[in-house]
Amino acid sequence: MTFSRRIVAEGLGTALLLAVVVGSGIMAERLAGGNVAIALLANAIATGAGLLALVLMFGTISGAHFNPVVTLSEAWQKNMPASEVIPYIAAQLAGAFAGVAAAHLMFDVPLFVASEHVRTGAAQWWSEFVATFGLIAVIIGCSRSRPSVTPFAVAAYITAAYWFTSSTSFANPAVTLARSATDTFAGIRPADAFGFIVAQLLGAAAATPLFCWLYPAAHREASVAGTVAQSDFANAGQPQEVKHG
């Protein structure tokens, strides 16, 4: 895939992810009749399902990071050139705000409104550290052992993390910044975003070396080879596509 295709995929994928997160939050809040638990459940399910679809759709183009800490972790592992980090993050940030705007337009909400949803304090910062640590752990662990299940594992983890963290698991600096521009169910006060982002960066920085050690490169290469071998075995005897021209 060309660099331009990968950048467009990152921006578009992040935009659609934010449209899912914010849009489902608005819909959930409007339909839940004040029941916050039901609203959070609806928001979590929609986010997990949407994330799975987007990772499956864009994964083969850009890697479907949609998240600056994932991009930084991938660069740390030398899975992508360092020169691509800033363009990837810029596309993610632009896409995140575009996604918020798209969700607001769908629900007749002003394009951008500073959130008044208070999310701060040591418990929530620790939650963001844990949420991001776990996200990077799932990505490295699954991509180096069973690559084919990674999209499903990531989506399942994020759905669960909505419920086991007090912060509802933002685990993404681009998402955090964009959600400060929506005064809806998914919002976060702009003043609170900095603490979340610091915690997210620290969580990713802690998880990346640890899980690279737990899943060394040799293990990853063996796992990928095994996946290919299994795929070849599964396709054995199947009719092959006839290519013309």
Q: How far is CA 81 from CA 75, 76, 84, 123, 172, in A?
A: 6, 9, 6, 35, 21
Instruction: Check pLDDT > 80 for residue 31.
Output: yes
- pLDDT score for 1: 80
- pLDDT score for 139: 98
Lowest-pLDDT choice from 64-78, 99-113, 162-176, 220-234: 220-234
Tokens of 206: 């802690």
Tokens of 83: 């020169």
Across residues 68-86, what is the average pLDDT? 97
- Whether 85 contacts 10, CB under 8 Å: no
Helices (H), ranges, 122-189? 122-145, 150-164, 173-179
| Closest C-alpha to 98, from 8, 194, 7, 178 | 178
- Whether 57 contacts 1, CB under 8 Å: no
- pLDDT score for 224: 43
Contacts of 70 (CB under 8 A, 6+ apart): 135, 136, 139, 204
CA 1 to chain CA centroid, Å, is 21
Instruction: Check pLDDT > 70 for residue 232.
Output: no
Question: pLDDT tens digits, residue range 82-135?
Answer: 999 999 999 999 999 999 999 999 999 999 999 999 999 999 999 999 999 999
Q: Report pTM.
A: 0.88
- pLDDT score for 231: 40
- pLDDT score for 218: 54
| Closest C-alpha to 87, from 32, 154, 8 | 8
pLDDT band at 80 (very low <50, low <70, confident <90, very high): very high
- Whether 132 contacts 197, CB under 8 Å: no
